[in-house]
């Protein structure tokens, strides 16, 4: 009889909103609850598929959690699995090490939370002997490899290892319990259930080494549909892995090319079509889009000047599509007249535009003023809301460049006196 389990990681329950504009309370509520709903979907999947176990490879929590509401919710979901006869195996990741309720919450007896010493738990499924190996970290930093702390595979048994690791390193992630994929394959476990890196990856080799990614994205930088692994270990120890969708809300970057738009109505219709196309491609219940307006169009100045009106139009169309949201509007259009004429154009506004781009925004005084303003705003925000300014100096300077460029475009747009064309 086959042994089946669901493998997930990095749920980050109750993760704070990181980039969403709070002007839309409904959207904020949707994303604020999405990590919990993803766990409910995972538990539903386990019960529907009648699996033997759920494996959570770290970062179930999102840090220094104190909410007993979270504790009660989590206990309820674990109890559902317990009543269905499904075992749960959990290791603590770097975020879990910060959580206060991690040490205090009492789970049903079917839940095994591994401690700071490597252990192996044996399960029996007819002719299969399954050993689940796990190791948690009590501190949020693990600069050394954990692999040598694990027991060697037990002979004549199926061996499943659970590890929270950055492997050789990943963009956007701190180095955590680093190790080589080749070393994992060589360790001899039939399946490595990894966690920590938020993007899904299957590391090919002699064994099955899977990083499932997170089951629910939290902002545009964690875009795309999110999944878990449904794993079957057959009687002959063959391993098959299926992806199953879990994301409630799916973040996507959506481009709307307005090159063919001449009137305001045509522009809005093209935006609606771009949203509809993205909605049709989205399998998750909700689509949360960052809408980027591109193309060379005579409406470029108007679109920038009347950005709020365009956003309202886009949000109305998104609402009409159902379960579709606009997280942010970006305008990156250009004017055909400027593109064709360049510096030789006699239009004084175009000459001013060229001057601002090539001279004004490059001046140290202007740049320093913008830089200081961004730092002042950032420092006044709570720590969890400061990520907009980047994670290092290079990303911060790139944001300053973007603000200077967009600011000059917006100033010129407001100097244009044309009203939006009548539909």
Helix/strand/coil for 130: strand
How many whole angstroms from its chain centre is CA 291? 17
Based on the fold, state whether residues 143 and 241 are members of the same structural domain.
Answer: yes
Based on the fold, state whether residues 213 and 274 are members of the same structural domain.
Answer: no
Based on the fold, state whether residues 361 and 383 are members of the same structural domain.
Answer: yes
Q: How many domains does the chain have?
A: 3
Helix/strand/coil for 103: coil
Kindly report, residue by residue over 48-78, the tens digit of the pLDDT. 999 999 999 999 988 665 577 888 899 999 9
| Structural domain that includes position 30 | 3-245
Burial class (CB in 10 A: 0-12, 13-18, 19+), 32: middle
Q: Examine the pLDDT at 113 and tell me if it is beyond 60.
A: yes
Based on the fold, state whether residues 204 and 71 are members of the same structural domain.
Answer: yes
Query: Domain boundary residue among 219, 245, 271?
Result: 245
Based on the fold, state whether residues 320 and 192 are members of the same structural domain.
Answer: no
Based on the fold, state whether residues 280 and 352 are members of the same structural domain.
Answer: no
CATH number reported for the structural domain that contains residue 110 in this entry: 3.60.21.10
Based on the fold, state whether residues 325 and 347 are members of the same structural domain.
Answer: no
Query: Domain boundary residue among 245, 278, 293?
Result: 245
Based on the fold, state whether residues 171 and 210 are members of the same structural domain.
Answer: yes
Kindly report, residue by residue over 241-264, the tens digit of the pLDDT. 999 999 999 999 999 999 999 999
Based on the fold, state whether residues 223 and 117 are members of the same structural domain.
Answer: yes
Rounded Cα gap, residues 7 and 56, in angstroms: 6
pTM of the model: 0.83
Based on the fold, state whether residues 223 and 265 are members of the same structural domain.
Answer: no
- The residues, ordered by sequence, that sit 6+ positions from 94 with a Cβ below 8 Å of its Cβ are 58, 59, 137, 140, 141, 142, 164, 174, 176, 196
Burial class (CB in 10 A: 0-12, 13-18, 19+), 164: buried
Kindly report, residue by residue over 367-405, the tens digit of the pLDDT. 788 788 888 887 877 665 666 777 778 878 887 777 777
Q: Examine the pLDDT at 148 and tell me if it is beyond 90.
A: yes
Based on the fold, state whether residues 181 and 311 are members of the same structural domain.
Answer: no
């Amino acid at each position: 009889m086959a042994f089946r389990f669901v493998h997930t990681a990095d749920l980050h329950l109750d993760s704070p909103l990181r980039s969403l504009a709070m002007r839309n309370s409904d959207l904020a509520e949707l994303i604020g609850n999405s990590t919990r709903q993803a766990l409910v979907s995972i538990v539903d999947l386990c019960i529907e598929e009648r699996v033997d176990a759920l494996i959570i490879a770290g970062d179930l929590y999102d840090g220094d959690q104190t909410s007993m509401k979270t504790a009660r919710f989590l206990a309820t979901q674990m109890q559902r699995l317990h009543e269905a006869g499904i075992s749960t195996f959990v290791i603590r990741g770097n975020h879990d090490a910060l959580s206060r309720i991690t040490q205090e919450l009492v789970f049903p007896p079917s839940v095994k939370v591994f401690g700071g010493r490597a252990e192996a738990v044996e399960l029996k499924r007819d002719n299969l002997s399954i050993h689940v190996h796990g190791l948690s970290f009590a501190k949020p930093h693990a600069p050394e490899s954990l692999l040598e702390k694990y027991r060697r595979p037990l002979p004549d048994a199926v061996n499943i290892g659970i590890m929270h690791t950055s492997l050789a390193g990943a963009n956007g992630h701190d180095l955590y319990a680093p190790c080589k994929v080749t070393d994992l394959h060589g360790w001899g476990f039939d399946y490595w259930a990894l966690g920590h890196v938020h993007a899904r990856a299957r590391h090919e080799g002699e064994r099955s080494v899977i990083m499932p990614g997170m089951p629910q994205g939290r902002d545009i930088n964690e875009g795309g549909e999110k999944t878990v692994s449904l794993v079957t270990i057959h009687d002959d120890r063959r391993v098959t892995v299926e992806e199953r969708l879990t994301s409630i809300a799916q973040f996507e970057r959506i481009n709307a090319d307005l090159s063919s738009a001449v009137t305001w109505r045509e522009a809005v219709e093209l935006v609606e079509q771009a949203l509809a196309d993205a909605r049709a491609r989205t399998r998750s219940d909700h689509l949360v889009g960052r809408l980027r307006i591109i193309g060379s169009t005579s409406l470029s100045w108007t679109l920038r000047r009347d950005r709020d009106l365009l956003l309202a139009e886009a949000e109305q169309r998104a609402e009409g599509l159902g379960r579709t949201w606009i997280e942010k509007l970006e305008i990156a259009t250009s004017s055909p007249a400027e593109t064709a004429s360049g510096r030789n154009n006699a239009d004084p506004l175009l000459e001013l535009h060229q001057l601002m781009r090539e001279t004004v925004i490059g001046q140290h005084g202007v740049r320093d003023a913008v830089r200081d303003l961004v730092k002042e705003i950032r420092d006044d925000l709570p720590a969890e809301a400061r990520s907009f300014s980047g994670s290092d100096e290079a990303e911060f300077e790139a944001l300053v460049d973007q603000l200077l460029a967009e600011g000059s475009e917006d100033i010129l747009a407001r100097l244009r006196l044309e009203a939006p064309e009548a539909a």
